[in-house]
């Protein structure tokens, strides 16, 4: 019995989840609204980066300017440097991506063992090898 790990072309949800990370810092996005690595999307270039990368870009653009004199509302994209990519007063949450990644994590955790050592048990801990073998045969 196959699982969602080995979908079309050998790529599955685990691979999709691993490959969806912030292009600024290469860390995985977090899916809770208050998380520091929550994904935000640019209205100008459509790149998605985490809040930490946006904050780092603000600090880099402020360098040499006292915080009180820095009055810019928008910053360049950390990926492509397009001007005014992120409005820091009205950040756009990439809720579609966050929801999708949250669902992928949930599905991966529910996967039974498929016998593939690379994805041993899909997040399910079995008490013994007999139970693991029976689940694989179902």
Encode pLDDT of 44-70 as tens digits.
Answer: 999 999 999 999 988 888 776 666 555
Task: Give the lowest-confidence range in 20-24, 66-70, 79-83.
Answer: 66-70
Residue 56 lies in a domain: yes
In this predicted model, which residue has the larger pLDDT, 123 or 129? 129
Reported confidence tier of residue 128, pLDDT bands at 50, 70, 90: low
Sign of the dihedral defined by the CA atoms of residues 76, 81, 83, 85, in that order: negative
Q: Which domain does 55 fall in, by range?
A: 4-133
Please report which confidence band the pLDDT of residue 83 belongs to, taking 50, 70 and 90 as the band edges: confident
What pLDDT sits at residue 64? 65
Burial class (CB in 10 A: 0-12, 13-18, 19+), 130: exposed
Domain presence at residue 115: yes
Q: Any idea which of 2-16, 54-68, 76-90, 93-107 has the lowest mean pLDDT?
A: 2-16
pLDDT of residue 136: 57
The CATH number for 80's domain is 3.30.40.10
Number of domains observed in the structure of the chain? 1
- In a domain, residue 138? The reply is no
pLDDT given for residue 53 in this prediction = 93
Q: Which residues contact 121 (CB under 8 A, 6 or more apart)?
A: 111, 112, 113, 132
**Residue 99 located in a structural domain:** yes
Looking at the domain assignment, is residue 68 inside a domain?
yes
Q: Is 53 within 8 Å of 39 (Cβ atoms)?
A: no
Q: Exposure string (b/e) for 104-125, b if CB count within 10 Å is 16 or more?
A: bbebbeebbbbeeeebebbbee
pLDDT at 112 over 80: no
pLDDT of 122 > 70? The answer is no
């Amino acid at each position: 019995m196959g699982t969602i790990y080995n979908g079309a072309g050998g790529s599955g949800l685990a691979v999709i989840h691993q490959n969806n990370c912030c292009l600024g810092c290469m860390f995985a996005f977090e899916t809770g609204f208050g998380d520091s690595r929550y994904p935000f999307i640019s209205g100008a270039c459509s790149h998605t980066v985490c809040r930490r990368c946006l904050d780092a870009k603000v600090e880099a653009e402020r360098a040499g300017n006292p915080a009180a004199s820095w009055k810019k509302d928008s910053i360049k994209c950390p990926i492509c440097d397009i001007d005014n990519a992120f409005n820091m007063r009205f950040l756009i949450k990439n809720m579609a991506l966050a929801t999708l990644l949250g669902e992928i994590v949930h599905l991966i955790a529910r996967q039974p063992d498929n016998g593939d050592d690379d994805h041993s048990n899909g997040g399910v801990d079995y008490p013994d090898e007999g139970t693991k073998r029976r689940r694989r045969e179902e």
